Amino acid sequence: MAEPVIERADELPLVIYWLLQMRVDEIIDSILPHPHPNRQGLSYGQLAVLFIAFVVYLRSHRLCEMEEWVADHQVVLAHTTGWPIQVKDATDDRLGDLLSALGADEERGVLLQRQMGQHLIQAYALPTEVGRYDTITFAVHHAPGEDGKAAGGVLSRGHSKDHRPDLLQFKQGLG
């Protein structure tokens, strides 16, 4: 009988769950060409989900570290995604191919952003009987114009909550 494998799951299943809910793998696979036929294993979309989870989990984007990370979390990754994940799916060569494919065509990148945004961003009809508007200012390091203001009046001198009267204030409003 084989010994049980024990891995810390931490937040990894939750990160992967939300990436799959966002359909990152499906959208990338629908836009990017398939990997070279000599590359066996995960699709670009599946590899992208693992790479994003790796970056979020370790707060590192070093490609050379991901293969070892996949080896350390292979059981959790396979159970969470349902994919047959092999350690060699996450080599720095495979990740380099993915990143090259993502950055190779600007039109493809725009299409990817558009499809991701259309899927993720939602608009709601809000009641219009009452409107509220709130403003805040914060200090910015910006060179003032000749009139002491900059950017068409958006930045100006005024009372600084940061006690920095030498800096311009940016006025922001939210309605």
Question: pTM here?
Answer: 0.67
Q: How far apart are CA 88 and CA 27, in angstroms?
A: 23
* Mean pLDDT per 10-residue segment, the chain (175 residues): 73 92 92 80 92 91 88 91 90 89 87 86 81 78 61 62 73 78
Give me the pLDDT at residue 118, please: 85
CA angle 114, 120, 122 (to 5 degrees): 105
